[in-house]
Amino acid sequence: MEKEGIAIYAGSKVPQLLKAAIEKAVKSGNYLNASDFIRDAIKEKLQREGFFSHIEGEKCVHYT
């Protein structure tokens, strides 16, 4: 069982078109790097689909 607050590594391959779009988003200055963009995208999707009510920093709070 994982301890709360410990980050995991989750690697994934993306098509070249998505990679280019992510690089463009990073170059816009809104993100530190590709990992920062991907973390933000995952958080937004989880919130939008209702899996988490809100996310504070690195702690995720689940709907009850």
What is residue 24's DSSP assignment? Answer: H
The pLDDT score that the predictor gives to residue 64 is 44
Q: What CA–CA distance (Å, rounded) separates 43 from 32?
A: 16
The pLDDT score that the predictor gives to residue 60 is 52
pTM surpassing 0.85?
A: no
57 by Cβ neighbours in 10 Å (0-12 / 13-18 / 19+) ranks as: exposed
Segment holding 54, helix H or strand E: strand 52-56
Q: Which residue has the higher pLDDT, 64 or 57?
A: 57
Tens of pLDDT along 7-58? 888 889 999 999 999 999 999 999 999 999 999 999 899 889 988 766 555 5
